[in-house]
Amino acid sequence: MDLGIRGRKGIVNGGSAGLGLGSARALAREGVDLFITARGEERLNRVCDELAAETGSTVRPVVADHSTKEGRAKILYACPNPDILVATCSPPTWTGDFQAVEPEHWESGLATTLISPVEMMRAIIPGMIERKWGRIVMIGTGASKFPVEARILSGAPRAALVNYVVAVAKKVAKHGVILNNMLPGMYHTATIHDNFTKQAEERGISYDDVVQEFVDNWHIPANKFGQIDDFGAVCAMLCSEFANYTVGQSWVMDGGIGNTTF
């Protein structure tokens, strides 16, 4: 299916691994001219080369920390007028006890998960309005809708981000600028692989065993973790020509763990 975005310019912040990578790959397969950002230069360059070779699209790396003003300026210098913005980041630390969360943890988390995407949107939405076309997808977390103590550093700031995105989406949709959120659950990302592999080695079991224990403990109806390319395909659809009437929605993709009637 042709999503109608071939030749569009897109930024994927945090696109060198995980859900950002899955989204970037899907967009590259649709012919989007991509600028992928990340802090780690070696992995970012490798990923961009691989995506360009696989898809034939132009994929440019931008080594930058989008949680900083300087990093955002570097990204927007490389691509000042994007048609598409997809934003994610390395997830904040899991917290075992809400009392252990100090102010500096909040400051760091807010800079990455709330202030950064808000400032990116403020910078690029005026151009999208002028051109009468734009797509923004914010990748958050299911914990922003279904709070759990272990994800409080991630869920709380991203709940604020979801609120912001929906409010702005209602303002700009009439100009052809479409904003949505994606709220993932557990996926086979690089971070999950590293964390769960470490647990497996410490306990003398396999990565798959640790995953299945988590699935069982959290009662995930799909009975598995998600794949990043499945996530990316939905992200690409929300960035497509066919998303014109999908305004300010928060798509939960968590294998059914957080199902509600509405």
Q: What is the 3-state secondary structure (H, E, C) of the chain?
A: CCCCCCCCEEEEECCCCHHHHHHHHHHHHCCCEEEEEECCHHHHHHHHHHHHHHHCCCEEEEECCCCCHHHHHHHHHHCCCCCEEEECCCCCCCCCCHHHCCHHHHHHHHHHHHHHHHHHHHHHHHHHHHHCCEEEEEECCHHHCCCCHHHHHHHHHHHHHHHHHHHHHHHHHHHCEEEEEEEECCECCHHHHHHHHHHHHHHCCCHHHHHHHHHHHHCCCCCCCECHHHHHHHHHHHCCHHHCCCCCCEEEECCCCCCCCC
How many beta carbons lie within 10 A of that of residue 261, not counting itself?
Answer: 3
The answer as to whether 35 is a domain residue is yes
The answer to whether 226 and 253 have CB atoms below 8 angstroms apart is yes
Amino acid 21 reads: L
**End-to-end Cα distance, the chain:** 29
Length of the chain: 262
The answer as to whether 201 is a domain residue is yes
The answer as to whether 259 is a domain residue is no
The answer as to whether 51 is a domain residue is yes
Domain count within the chain? 2
Same domain, 120 and 162: yes
The answer as to whether 197 is a domain residue is yes
The answer as to whether 101 is a domain residue is yes
Stretches in the chain below the pLDDT threshold 50: none
pTM of the model: 0.93
Same domain, 198 and 153: no
CA–CA separation, 262 and 34 (whole Å)? 34
CA–CA separation, 103 and 226 (whole Å)? 33
The answer as to whether 26 is a domain residue is yes
The answer as to whether 258 is a domain residue is no
Same domain, 60 and 97: yes
**What's the pLDDT score for residue 107?**
84
**What's the pLDDT score for residue 133?**
98
**What's the pLDDT score for residue 234?**
98
Same domain, 49 and 105: yes
Same domain, 168 and 246: yes
**What's the pLDDT score for residue 111?**
85
Same domain, 196 and 140: no
**What's the pLDDT score for residue 205?**
97
Same domain, 30 and 137: yes
CATH number at residue 64: 3.40.50.720
**What's the pLDDT score for residue 22?**
98
**What's the pLDDT score for residue 223?**
98
**What's the pLDDT score for residue 94?**
66
Which residue segment(s) compose the domain that 161 sits in?
9-187+227-251
The answer to whether 14 and 71 have CB atoms below 8 angstroms apart is no
Same domain, 197 and 122: no
Same domain, 204 and 127: no
Classify strands 177-184 and 59-63 as parallel, antiparallel or unpaired: unpaired
CA–CA separation, 200 and 209 (whole Å)? 8
Same domain, 99 and 221: no
**What's the pLDDT score for residue 91?**
67
**What's the pLDDT score for residue 90?**
67
CA–CA separation, 63 and 183 (whole Å)? 26
**What's the pLDDT score for residue 98?**
81
Same domain, 155 and 217: no
Same domain, 158 and 65: yes
